[in-house]
C-alpha cells in the first residue's frame, strides 16, 4: 500500500476493515462507508480487559474511525488523540464524544505518513488496520516509537482463519501470531495470541489476534 492521492488531493491509502479493504478509487471509500452505514460503538473487549487496570495517561488511537475505542478511553480519564484518514469518521468520532460528554483530539492524516511525537504516549491502539508488508511493519514501528518508557501497545486484527467471514478478502492482510511474532523488536511482548470474539446469533465465534506489548525502561 502506498500513500496514493486522488485528483482532488484526498488521501486514498488507509486500509481499515470490518468488511473489506479501502484502495485507490475515484471517491474516498471510507468517507462514504462511514456516511452511509452505522458503525459499532462498543470498544474492543480485549482492550477493555487489558487497559482497565492501568492508570490513565495519554493515548493515541491510530485509525480511530468513528471513535469507539477513543471514546471509551476518554470516558475513563485518558487524554486521547485519534488519527484517521477519513474526515467523515473523525467528524462522527467528535460528535459521539460530545454526546458522551468527553473530548477526543482528532488528527486527519494518512497512517503511513503520520509521525507522532516520539515517546509521547502511555498507550497506543492499532485496531483492525490490515496492511500488507512492509507497510504493516512500518505502522507498528511508528506506534512503538510513540510510546514512553513503560507505555503499552495494543494491537487487534482479524485472524486468517476468518477469511471470508470478516475482514479484508486478501489473505495476506489478515493476522496470525506467526506473522506478527517479529513485528515488535523494541518492545517486551506480554501477549501475542488468538482471542475468540462473539459473532452473530447462531454463528460460531470469530477469532482475533491480540498483541499487548510494553516499551521497556
The CATH architecture that domain 29-214 belongs to is 3-Layer(aba) Sandwich (3.40)
Sign of the four-CA dihedral 67, 68, 71, 76? negative
Residue 107 has, within 13 A of its CA and on its CB side, a CA count of: 15
Q: Between 127 and 34, where is the model more confident?
A: 127
Percent of the chain with pLDDT over 70: 88
Give the distance from CA 57 to its chain's centroid. Answer: 18
35: number of Cβ within 10 Å = 13
pLDDT tens-digit series, residues 53-103 = 999 999 999 999 999 999 999 999 999 999 999 999 999 999 999 999 999
pLDDT at 194 exceeding the cut of 90: yes
Per the structure block, which three cell numbers stand in for 100? 458522551
- Eight-state DSSP code of residue 93: H
11: number of Cβ within 10 Å = 18
Rounded to 5 degrees, what are φ and ψ at 51?
A: -90, -25
Sole residue written with cell 480485549: 46
Amino acid at each position: 500500500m502506498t500513500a496514493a492521492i486522488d485528483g482532488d488531493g484526498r488521501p486514498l491509502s488507509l486500509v481499515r476493515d470490518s468488511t473489506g479493504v479501502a484502495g485507490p478509487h475515484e471517491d474516498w471509500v471510507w468517507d462514504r462507508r462511514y456516511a452511509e452505514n452505522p458503525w459499532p460503538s462498543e470498544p474492543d473487549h480485549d482492550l477493555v480487559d487489558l487497559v482497565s487496570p492501568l492508570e490513565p495517561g495519554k493515548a493515541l488511537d491510530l485509525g480511530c474511525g468513528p471513535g469507539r475505542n477513543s471514546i471509551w478511553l476518554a470516558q475513563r480519564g485518558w487524554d486521547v488523540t485519534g488519527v484517521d484518514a477519513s474526515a467523515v469518521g473523525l467528524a462522527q468520532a467528535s460528535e459521539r464524544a460530545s454526546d458522551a460528554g468527553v473530548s477526543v483530539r482528532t488528527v486527519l492524516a494518512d497512517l503511513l505518513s503520520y509521525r507522532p511525537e516520539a515517546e509521547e504516549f502511555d498507550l497506543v491502539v492499532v485496531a483492525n488496520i490490515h496492511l500488507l508488508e512492509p507497510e504493516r511493519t512500518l505502522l507498528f514501528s511508528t506506534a512503538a516509537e510513540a510510546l514512553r518508557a513503560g507505555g503499552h501497545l495494543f494491537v487487534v486484527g482479524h485472524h486468517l482463519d476468518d477469511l471470508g467471514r470478516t475482514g479484508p478478502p486478501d489473505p495476506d492482510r489478515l493476522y496470525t501470531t506467526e506473522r506478527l511474532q517479529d513485528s515488535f523488536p523494541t518492545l517486551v511482548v506480554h501477549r501475542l495470541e488468538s482471542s475468540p470474539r462473539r459473532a452473530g446469533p447462531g454463528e460460531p465465534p470469530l477469532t482475533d489476534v491480540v498483541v499487548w506489548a510494553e516499551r521497556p525502561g
